[in-house]
Amino acid sequence: MTLAQKYENEAGKLTGISPSVSPGSVAWRSPSNIALIKYWGKRDFQLPQNPSLSFVLEESFTETSVEYRYRGNNGNTGSGNLKVDFMFEGQPNFVFDLRINAFLQKVAEFLPFISHFEFKIESRNSFPHSSGIASSASAMSSLALCLVSIEKDLFGTLKNDKDFFTKASFIARLGSGSAARSVYGDWSVWGKNKLIRGSTDEAAVNVNNELKPVFKSLADAILIVDSGKKEVSSSQGHKTMDGHPFASARYRQARENLEKLINAMVIGDEQSFISVVENEALSLHAMMISGNVGYSLLKEATWNIIGRIREFRMKSGLFLAFTLDAGPNVHLLYQLKDAEAIKPFIFSELLSLCENKHWIDDRIGKGPERLF
């Protein structure tokens, strides 16, 4: 039985709401994540063409609060008639409002109780949205965690942590594929593969236990080349993989790279880690450039930063690697123990290439946190 079938079967138990139910509220902080094996291209509805692997960040997150109030249990409360008041960083946002409403209408299939409530949703980011730092991942995962918490509070379900976070990952995926990976701390894999027991295309799974300690204490210096909205959104970018001349080769490459990277992290092979991570980063952007309607999100400063990272690594012999998300900004990965050697390099060589010398001093995170 698939997770979708399981949650569809259970949905009938999530409809009986007493008119006397008290108003409630819930809030979660959920992190962004950075994928090292990239998800680019999807099938059906929000299912990945290849598995991906990522870690969550500590300082780059979204905080979402949801206030809910019972509004009736009659024929006018279907998923197409949701009542939602949404604010982003204290202001109405029409584009985000449309996306939130579409998301809620979709998940009402699995969480039918939401049709009987009116919602006030407020959200804020600790980092620039829509600039290639997976803002949709943190936003949709924090909202999904709120919704699944409401189910748990109202119906007494999902008492087991594994059940709770699996459903949160499943629900988050329906809003943003990468959001499936943001409901766990440390490392997770999303997408069915032969190495990770229990892996599935429908939700992410945590993979932290088997990894060498060196890969559990990575810093991530996020170098902001451009904080503006991307010219091509990730949703649009995924669509360009339909009919892409190199799509099948790319999906095969990602599956092979996932196996190589997990093996490297289990045995502590730092050189293989660097090689695979940087290959994945550039392969992602190669798909954008080589599509039927090619485009590039990378800037001159992006390439200059990459060149300086490679040069510094060769001279210093230190462990550091770059990766990229679907945007121009560069993630510089290094071991926390080497911060005293690498931060001066960041300040002297890289910040001049960043927009307003802006960077985020981040690291592998503990994962989401319920705020109330």
Question: What pLDDT digit, counting tens, does each position of 221-236 carry?
Answer: 999 999 888 888 888 9
Q: Are residues 9 and 25 in the same domain?
A: yes
Q: Are residues 204 and 220 in the same domain?
A: no
Q: Are residues 326 and 300 in the same domain?
A: yes
Q: What is the pLDDT of residue 10?
A: 97
Q: Are residues 185 and 131 in the same domain?
A: yes
Q: Are residues 84 and 200 in the same domain?
A: yes
Helix axes 135-155, 94-107, angle to 10 degrees: 40
Q: Are residues 188 and 47 in the same domain?
A: yes
Q: Are residues 173 and 262 in the same domain?
A: no
Q: Which residues contact residue 371 at a Cβ distance below 8 angstroms, ignoring those fewer than 6 apart?
A: 27, 28, 29, 63, 65
Q: Single out the residue of 295, 293, 256, 290 nearest to residue 276, CA to CA.
A: 256
Q: What is the pLDDT of residue 320?
A: 96
Q: Are residues 255 and 359 in the same domain?
A: yes
Q: Which CATH number does the domain housing residue 331 bear?
A: 3.30.70.890
Q: Are residues 164 and 272 in the same domain?
A: no
Q: Are 24 and 67 in contact (CB under 8 A)?
A: yes
In a domain, 240, yes or no: yes
In a domain, 369, yes or no: no
Q: Which CATH number does the domain housing residue 70 bear?
A: 3.30.230.10
pTM: 0.95
273 is in which domain, residue-wise? 214-363
In a domain, 370, yes or no: no
- Structural domain count, the chain: 2
In a domain, 48, yes or no: yes
Distance CA 61, CA 56 (A): 9
Q: Single out the residue of 38, 61, 4, 160 nearest to residue 365, CA to CA.
A: 61
Q: What is the pLDDT of residue 269?
A: 97
In a domain, 38, yes or no: yes
Q: Hey, CA dihedral for 367, 160, 210, 172, is it positive or negative?
A: negative
Q: Which of 209, 229, 256 is the endpoint of a domain?
A: 209
Question: Residues in the chain with pLDDT < 70?
Answer: 73-80, 129-132, 134
Q: Single out the residue of 133, 135, 164, 130 nearest to residue 150, CA to CA.
A: 164
Strand partners, 34: 55
Q: Are residues 274 and 309 in the same domain?
A: yes
Q: Which of 148, 179, 209 is the endpoint of a domain?
A: 209
In a domain, 24, yes or no: yes
Q: Are residues 200 and 233 in the same domain?
A: no
Q: Which of 209, 243, 268 is the endpoint of a domain?
A: 209
In a domain, 265, yes or no: yes
Q: What is the pLDDT of residue 76?
A: 47
In a domain, 368, yes or no: no
Q: Are 33 and 275 in contact (CB under 8 A)?
A: no
